[in-house]
Structure 1
Amino acid sequence: MTYDVIVIGGGTSGMMAAVSAAENGANTLLIEKNKKLGKKLLLTGGGRCNVTNNREPEDIIQHIPGNGKFLYSAFSQFDNHQIMAFFEENGVSLKEEDHGRMFPVSDRSKSIVECLQTKMLELGVTIQQADPVKRLLIEDQRIVGVQLDSGDRQIAPCVIVSTGGRTYQQTGSTGDGYRFAKKAGHTVTPLFPTEAPLLSKESFIQNKTLQGLALQDIKLSVLNTKNKEIVSHEMDMLFTHFGISGPAALRCSMFVNKELEARESVTLVLDALPNKSQAQLVSEFAQRRAESEQKSIKNALKNMLPERYLDFLISQTEIDSSATIKSLNEKDRDQLIDLMKAFPIEINGTWPIEKSFVTGGGISLKEINPKSMESKLVSGLFFTGEVLDVNGYTGGYNITAAFVTGHVAGKHAAEIASYYNY
């Protein structure tokens, strides 16, 4: 069978690519190896689907630390506000939550998947499920179609590879796109987990001293070998039985993995009170001392930090927590304040790629045209979404990149395919 555009992968970027290609007049085939479309999309945002983010497009790109600048041209054609408009126009009302995150009002990922599915059927997209693509068909550096596992060949002048990364492998993200890309002559940069919980061998982690403790609005920083800050995030975090997790830790993971390429452990520094300076804390200690000099140190400092964390920090010093605050000397006070502002945690690794939220690395962007997502090596071959060497923070940024690259690839593929119909 002959089509104008074939899309491989029925996930976030694949479905949007098929919609975009069909909207631009292309006879489109979507091939999905699973029995259902949007398997990973159904899991995102805790099953509610954080569909995009309501920040300004420039700000969205800032939240895609893995080569976000590559997306400027694509965003000038289709951005997060157009993603929101697309769903609203197609019957899915969205609502905004903290940090600009957008969700369907229904709180169900299914609403998003069904919307894309309905739109594809309206536009006459042919959907072929449970039949994986075996290989790309390329002749003289030009795509001509695909061969399926079943042996069937589907012919088209344009093929869009939207197969996802290597995370959530139970959804079918097993790295097929990287294999197709390499066979086509593309470079695939090393893959690594991002947005991944962090692992630590620190004794207080191994002993589960702080397991289950959540800290709000802290600052977590990643240090280089010279103890200089590489990146820091002010968000919430959670101590676990294996290390640390929560938004701040997840956002540091990409930088941790980069550092771990050259050494065995990376130091993170936790500032539990980022809105207070050392000097402000010294004066707060003095005030509490004046107000309740006969109280124990632990009770006098109550409510400065969660009790469990405060007890832990005191235990890391030579202070006797039952002693009165009046007896606290300057040296011990300064040591405690230092720990409140900069508690070091050695990190030895992250969760593996299969258990992480996002894949870092991917098809080298030097070999992709940023305006169209078309390969610079094989005419008519396009790549979108997580298969590219682009990765963002959680909060709707990766899905935004997937929708944007999918839409742009679909539009340009339809345009190129139209030349073959004359």
Structure 2
Amino acid sequence: MSYQVTIIGGGPSGLMAAIAAAEQGVTTLLLDKGSKLGTKLAISGGGRCNVTNRLPEDEVIKHIPGNGKFLYSPFSVFNNYDIIEFFEDLGVGLKEEDHGRMFPVSNKAKDVVNALLSRLKELNVEIRTKIPVEAIHYGENEHQIILESKEKVITRSVVLAVGGKAVPHTGSTGDGYAWAKKAGHTITTLFPTEVPLLSKDSFIQNKALQGLSLRDVDVSVISKKNKAIITHRMDMLFTHFGLSGPAILRCSQYVVKEFMKGHRPVTIEIDCLPDEHEQKLYEHLQNQLKEQPRKSFRNVVKGLVPERLLVYLLKINDVNHEDKAANISNQQLHSFVKHIKHFNVTVHDSQPIEKAFVTGGGVSIKEVVPNTLQSKLMERLYFCGEILDIHGYTGGYNITAAMVTGRVAGIHAAYEAMG
């Protein structure tokens, strides 16, 4: 069988690439080793599918700390606003939620997947699922894809849209790296990003705070030199193994990068009251204690932080539940305030890359043409989505990167195939 464009991988970037190629009028084949297309889309955004983000382009790129600037070129062809228009043209109404996140009005990820599948059908894209690829043989005028069944597919252009190594149950198990290497590409170090963190601290081990969420706190990753590498203000969660939740996921790649430099463990610092100045908070509480000396200290500070955290802070500062405000030393108060503003957790590891939401590292972007996504090393070979060394925070940013690169790769793979 021979085709003008063959896309390997049926995730967000592969589906976009197949649609874009077929819209140029070329014979298009989409191969996926899984039984269903769009499995990653179907589970994204908690099953509601966070399709993209409608923040301004610069903001979107800022939320893609892993080589986001590379996307300025592809964005000039197709950007986050074009994604919104694309889905609305397919009949999928979108709505905006917090931080610019865009979801289908129906709240159903399957509506997004079905719209893409219907468009592929309309365009007569040949889809073959449950078809693992065994090897790719690159040639001057055409490439050969050898399937596991030993069948050969001849194609002018190949688009690799096979994902990274995160969320392997959706099919992204890192197959594409070997095919990229065979074409001469460098694969930068792979690491987990957007991943929960592990701690052996006693309060984690004894589950003192397990299941507790903190809202709108500042979470910082502290360097060897005791400086904040990055700070994110969002919600976070204490778990039975360590830390999770949006702020932690965003900070995780910076923790993992410290590990990669040989710095371990890494301190995560939580500021539970980021809008309060430490000294002012101390003075305010000192006044409260003086005004209500007979009240228990616990009742004076009640409501300052969630109850379970308060109980824990009292315990580590040697304050009993019934201790009166008048009996609290300045030193205890200082320590209590310090713990609220600098709650430190020692992180010794992250969950493995398979448990991460996103893969860091991948095909080096230095070897890919930004405005076409063609390999600089191999004719008519294109990359899109998570196989590239590009990674963003959760919130629609990775899907945006995948769809934009998929669209651009598909268009150019078709142009080259026709040439």
Aligned position for 2:266: 266
Task: Report whether the alignment pairs 1:393 with 2:393.
Answer: yes
Distance apart, 1:355 and its partner CA? 1.3
Distance apart, 1:175 and its partner CA? 0.8
Aligned position for 2:217: 218
* Matched ranges for 1:411-422 at <5 A: 411-419=411-419
Q: Is the 8 A contact 1:145 1:158 kept in 2?
A: no
Q: Is the 8 A contact 1:137 1:143 kept in 2?
A: no
Aligned position for 1:246: 245
SS in 1 for 2:70: helix
Give structure 2 stretches of 5+ with no counterpart.
none
Q: Is the 8 A contact 2:53 2:397 kept in 1?
A: yes
Aligned position for 1:403: 403
Aligned position for 1:12: 12
Q: TM-score with structure 2 length normalisation?
A: 0.97
Which amino acid in the other structure matches residue 78 of structure 1? F
Q: For 2:340 and 2:319, how far apart are their aligned partners in 1?
A: 14
SS in 2 for 1:366: helix
Distance apart, 1:100 and its partner CA? 1.2
Distance apart, 1:31 and its partner CA? 0.8
SS in 1 for 2:413: helix
Q: For 1:177 and 1:284, how far apart are their aligned partners in 2?
A: 58
Distance apart, 1:356 and its partner CA? 1.3
* Matched ranges for 1:318-333 at <5 A: 318-333=318-333
Aligned position for 2:136: 136
* Matched ranges for 1:181-220 at <5 A: 181-220=180-219
Aligned position for 2:231: 232
Q: For 2:372 and 2:382, how far apart are their aligned partners in 1?
A: 8
Distance apart, 1:327 and its partner CA? 2.7
Q: TM-score with structure 1 length normalisation?
A: 0.96
Aligned position for 1:95: 95
Q: For 1:26 and 1:81, how far apart are their aligned partners in 2?
A: 26
Which amino acid in the other structure matches residue 72 of structure 2? Y
Deviations 1:118-152 (A, max 9, x none): 11111121111211111112125x65231211122
Q: For 2:295 and 2:183, how far apart are their aligned partners in 1?
A: 72
Q: Provide the alpha-carbon RMSD of the alignment.
A: 1.3
Distance apart, 1:320 and its partner CA? 4.1
Deviations 1:332-367 (A, max 9, x none): 222111111111110011111111111111111111
Q: Percent identity?
A: 50
Moved more, 170-179 or 84-93: 170-179
Aligned position for 1:178: 177
Deviations 1:59-87 (A, max 9, x none): 01100111111111011111111101110
Which amino acid in the other structure matches residue 236 of structure 1? D
Task: Report whether the alignment pairs 1:119 with 2:119.
Answer: yes
Moved more, 245-254 or 318-327: 318-327
Which amino acid in the other structure matches residue 274 of structure 1? P
Q: For 2:72 and 2:169, how far apart are their aligned partners in 1?
A: 32
Which amino acid in the other structure matches residue 223 of structure 2? N
Which amino acid in the other structure matches residue 335 of structure 1? S
Q: For 1:145 and 1:275, how far apart are their aligned partners in 2?
A: 60
SS in 2 for 1:4: strand
Q: Aligned pair in 2 of structure 1 residues 216, 260: CA closer, same or farther (>3 Å)?
A: same
* Matched ranges for 1:339-418 at <5 A: 339-418=339-418
Moved more, 393-402 or 167-176: 167-176
Q: For 2:212 and 2:297, how far apart are their aligned partners in 1?
A: 21
Aligned position for 1:35: 35
SS in 1 for 2:303: coil
Give structure 1 stretches of 5+ with no counterpart.
none
Q: Is the 8 A contact 1:218 1:234 kept in 2?
A: yes
Which amino acid in the other structure matches residue 348 of structure 1? H
Q: Is the 8 A contact 1:210 1:239 kept in 2?
A: yes
Which amino acid in the other structure matches residue 388 of structure 2? L
SS in 2 for 1:76: helix
Task: Report whether the alignment pairs 1:105 with 2:105.
Answer: yes
Q: Is the 8 A contact 1:167 1:356 kept in 2?
A: yes
Q: Is the 8 A contact 2:224 2:263 kept in 1?
A: no
Which amino acid in the other structure matches residue 363 of structure 2? I
Aligned position for 1:276: 276
